[in-house]
Chain A
Amino acid sequence: MAESSKRTLFDKIWNSHVVDTLPDGTCVLYIDRHIIHEVTTPQAFEGLRAAHRPVRRPEATIAVVDHNIPTTDRSQGIDEPDSRLQIETFEANVAEFGVPYFPYTDPRQGIVHVIGPEQGMSLPGMTIVCGDSHTSTHGAMGALAFGIGTSEVEHVLATQTMLQKPSRNMRITVDGQVGPGVSGKDLILAIIGQIGAAGGTGHVIEYAGEAIRALDMAGRMTVCNMSIEAGARAGLIAPDEKTYAYIKGRPHAPHGEAFEQALAWWRTLPSDEGALYDREVHLDAATIAPMVTWGTSPEDVLAITGRVPLLESAADGAAREALARKFDYMGITPGTPLAEIGVDVVFIGSCTNSRIEDIRAAAAIARGRKVAPGVRALVVPGSGLVKQQAESEGLDRILTEAGFSWREAGCSMCIGMNPDKVAPGERCASTSNRNFEGRQGPGARTHLLSPAMAAAAAITGHLTDVREFL
């Protein structure tokens, strides 16, 4: 077989979704699943309305509210007028256009990237889009999934396709086994630290290797979730027996004979042996420690045993100025050991780390311990069903007895569009995905880390090597 006939997972999914090719190589790419939420759709529905266009396939679409939704009791509705207006507008739009919708009173409501896999709506070999950059999460199922803007949301609603050129293939192989206390979050933070925040630009990243295969589905979702933080629009992990076991029996997944048919196709998807990648990166899992960010880009990341860099580490004047701004914004002194940095707030949640496995990891550290005095700590499950599951396992009791606040599902403090915000100057240990200036609220200081590391920081009141708790 010729080398060129060997195809990657990305190539196979892409090729099976090309509807038409334009003379310049742009493809009309078919989209199997479209997930929509309240923030990036009002202008798209307005566009459809103005052009008298229907939603082409409402039954390929699922609607849910997550970004704006309060995580405290919402049985009486939503207090903030602008959030309420956006949610009411969304509910009116999905009703008018006939799109299936999980309202916030439904236990199936949750973060877009949690409910897709949870419901069996995100499956191997699919193309999946959503007006949210963390759509890359669904790549953990072996699906080609990427975030799109509002114009593209309107385009997909109207045509069930996207106009796009194929991305380049990149493979990141993490060989070997991770040590204790090292999770999927630490792997992806280490990867971003190595290739940088723009390292994956223009590429789809396929994650491979023993350490990736060893991750459970939640860990794989965490890895794929932050592909965008490495600049890649999509991350992919080849489906395997863990994937199929995860899917089987989920409400919207194929059942019975249909499942067997699907499975036969899914098994053909993994990259061919010898398929070529435009770029290859290797990491050794054994060298990866629990990670934490110190600055205002996800690439500003180090092992918890490290120290804040020195100003002298900057390559040139512009880099030095940028570094000085990061130190100033973060309120940290160059050279400080990371484990000496105190925290005011701990947030366990977001599309990166709010699945049942994440909550179990946090509860395992919190069990029988107390949140440090003066630290505000909250746990926000990724969906109503994750919340129910955690409660059936008694995890909510462990966490609330330790002093954590136990909330309703939503995006919450990852983006601060609801009342869950970090106050100006406050420092937050957060399991979310972005430490950008102002991300968790104006003036908020964010340190990204894993759920177990976040729980450890809540207990001690400062960034902490979770391995001390094992």
Chain B
Amino acid sequence: MQPFTKLTGVAAALPISNVDTDKIIPARFLKIITRAGLGKGLFDPLRYRPDGSEEPGFVLNREPYRHAKILIAHENFGCGSSREHAPWALMDFGISCVIAPSFGDIFFNNSMKNGLLPIRLPREICDLLMADAAQGDNARLTIDLHAQVVVRPNGEEIHFEMDPLRKHLLLNGLDDIGQTLQHAPAIDRYETARQAAQPWFPTTTLTDPAP
């Protein structure tokens, strides 16, 4: 995973609540066997007209937001499907931080496992940052994960909450599996104890195990 430390860039405002992952990346883009190339399908229903041409009013089709690195949205961003293709599509487009009042739980987890930082800030702060974003290239935001602050164009710093373990993993670009495998002996012990205490716990097989 790419480490996330500090990010400065143009922010795009998407003042919509309940942006679901079908809107972020529709199901027809999920028929892939790699992670790459999903940026072209990002926000497809909002970004393109039915004939495939760009919707000129959509923020990511306008300069300088075509190069946005930060997205600001309203409540419940990333609700719906568990598809990790949603953070993959955002990252592939170039967005590695989303700021919103709240997120879908699965999207929130998926993002951090891919070096995409989701930041929860109150609605009024999000609206303030959206006003900054409206100034385009003259008003870049900086995200400093180490200090846990969003720096506004006027220099004001806004603190955000962050789980310490997630922060550590993101700053160092570490994945969870390596972290968990340090607990392999405990997993072994758990399985042994459980097999002894609850031997009836069934396993899956190809043939019906029924008598």
The answer for the CA separation of A83 and B33 in the assembled complex, in Å, is: 10
For window 64-104 of chain B, which residues contact chain A by CB distance below 8 Å? 74-76, 79-84, 102-104
User: Is the C-beta of B198 less than 8 angstroms from some C-beta in chain A?
Assistant: yes
User: Is the C-beta of B5 less than 8 angstroms from some C-beta in chain A?
Assistant: no
The answer for the CA separation of A101 and B207 in the assembled complex, in Å, is: 10
User: Is the C-beta of B211 less than 8 angstroms from some C-beta in chain A?
Assistant: yes
Q: Which 4 A-B pairs have the closest CB atoms?
A: A258-B200, A149-B110, A149-B84, A42-B33
- Distance in angstroms from A24 CB to nearest chain B CB is 5
Residue of A nearest to B200 (CB): A258
Quick one: given A40-B83, A59-B205, A416-B27, are A24 and B165 in contact (CB under 8 Å)? yes
User: Is the C-beta of B146 less than 8 angstroms from some C-beta in chain A?
Assistant: no
Interface membership of chain A positions 191-207, coded 1 if the CB is closer than 8 angstroms to chain B and 0 otherwise? 00000011001100000
Residue of B nearest to A59 (CB): B203
20 A-B contact pairs sorted by A residue (CB < 8 Å): A19-B183, A20-B183, A20-B186, A24-B163, A24-B164, A39-B83, A60-B203, A149-B83, A149-B84, A152-B176, A154-B177, A158-B180, A158-B181, A197-B18, A228-B80, A231-B76, A261-B200, A318-B74, A322-B16, A442-B45
- Establish whether residues A83 and B31, one from each chain, have CB atoms under 8 Å apart when the complex forms: yes
Interface size on A, as a range, is: 35 or more
- Distance in angstroms from A435 CB to nearest chain B CB is 10
Residues of chain B touching chain A, judged by Cβ–Cβ distance below 8 Å, are 15-18, 20, 22-23, 26-28, 30-35, 44-45, 50, 74-76, 79-84, 102-106, 109-110, 113-114, 163-165, 175-177, 179-181, 183-184, 186-187, 190-191, 194, 198-206, 208-211
The answer for the CA separation of A83 and B211 in the assembled complex, in Å, is: 37
- Establish whether residues A254 and B202, one from each chain, have CB atoms under 8 Å apart when the complex forms: yes
Contact residue among B31, B164, B184, B191 (Cβ-Cβ distance under 8 Å from A417)? B31
Contact residue among A59, A131, A255 (Cβ-Cβ distance under 8 Å from B82)? A131
Contact residue among B74, B105, B205, B211 (Cβ-Cβ distance under 8 Å from A202)? B105
Residue of A nearest to B109 (CB): A149
User: Is the C-beta of A222 less than 8 angstroms from some C-beta in chain B?
Assistant: no
The answer for the CA separation of A42 and B83 in the assembled complex, in Å, is: 12
Residue of A nearest to B35 (CB): A43
- Establish whether residues B31 and A82, one from each chain, have CB atoms under 8 Å apart when the complex forms: yes
| B residues near A85, Cβ cutoff 8 Å | 31, 33
- Distance in angstroms from B203 CB to nearest chain A CB is 4
- Distance in angstroms from A150 CB to nearest chain B CB is 4
Quick one: given A28-B186, A261-B198, are A231 and B105 in contact (CB under 8 Å)? yes
The answer for the CA separation of A87 and B110 in the assembled complex, in Å, is: 23
- Distance in angstroms from A420 CB to nearest chain B CB is 12
- Distance in angstroms from A22 CB to nearest chain B CB is 6
Quick one: given A82-B31, A442-B26, are A51 and B177 in contact (CB under 8 Å)? yes
The answer for the CA separation of A254 and B194 in the assembled complex, in Å, is: 15
The answer for the CA separation of A161 and B180 in the assembled complex, in Å, is: 8
| B residues near A254, Cβ cutoff 8 Å | 200, 202
- Establish whether residues B35 and A252, one from each chain, have CB atoms under 8 Å apart when the complex forms: no
| A residues near B18, Cβ cutoff 8 Å | 197-198, 297, 299
User: Is the C-beta of A361 less than 8 angstroms from some C-beta in chain B?
Assistant: no
- Establish whether residues B106 and A233, one from each chain, have CB atoms under 8 Å apart when the complex forms: yes
- Establish whether residues A26 and B80, one from each chain, have CB atoms under 8 Å apart when the complex forms: no
| B residues near A417, Cβ cutoff 8 Å | 27-28, 30-31
Contact residue among B82, B83, B199, B202 (Cβ-Cβ distance under 8 Å from A121)? B202
For window 390-418 of chain A, which residues contact chain B by CB distance below 8 Å? 415-417
- Establish whether residues B84 and A415, one from each chain, have CB atoms under 8 Å apart when the complex forms: no
